[in-house]
Amino acid sequence: MEVPTGRHIKRWRKSLNITQSQLSDLSGVAQSIITKVETETVDPRSSTLRKIVEALSRSENPEKLHTVRDVMVTDVAVLKFDDVIQTAIDNMVKDGISQLPVLSEDGVILGLVSEESILQKGAHRNGLVGQVMHTNPVIVDIGLSIIEARRRLTEVESLLVIENGILVGLVSRMDLVHALRVNSIG
């Protein structure tokens, strides 16, 4: 990936008729930092640069999917470690879902229960979720590109999406397929 210079970012922003204040609102980066990046008086962190470039890309091509934020399911049913497996089965059948994140009491991701994990581990329905959960689910940042999400979803069935360390969504293979049906990838 080519890293844009501050001058390039400034030209790009101006070509889109976006003020620094508007770019700050779109990217979540302070306007003072944007000014320093554009005048090249600071060497920005890669995460800051990514936020700015993502905001400009969204403004330039709003019809395209850019990150997992664009396709994730945000109303995610979750389980606790000591829930019974029957609860997982009931939620899956009732809601037509195949993966359920398992969280600790304080919201930390502990694992993922899937149809596969229930069938493979063969635990009794009165057993605990902790007995059948996968303990190494793939966890990604909300800013992960759709291109990278697509690559990762060829290896796993779902991605747990976090923002600032907190679960904010889930992307399954089917979520991405549905999104590709009506959108283009940017």
Tell me the pLDDT tens digit for each residue of 137-173: 999 999 888 888 989 999 999 999 999 899 999 999 9
Tell me the pLDDT tens digit for each residue of 111-121: 999 998 998 87
Contact 157, 114 (CB under 8 A): yes
Tell me the pLDDT tens digit for each residue of 41-56: 998 888 898 889 888 8
CA distance 29 to 98: 36
* All structural domains of the chain: 6-60 (1.10.260.40), 69-185 (3.10.580.10)
Contact 149, 68 (CB under 8 A): yes
Query: Please, what is the Cα angle at 63 between 59 and 66, to 5 degrees?
Result: 70
pLDDT at 184: 56
Mean pLDDT, rounded, of the chain: 88
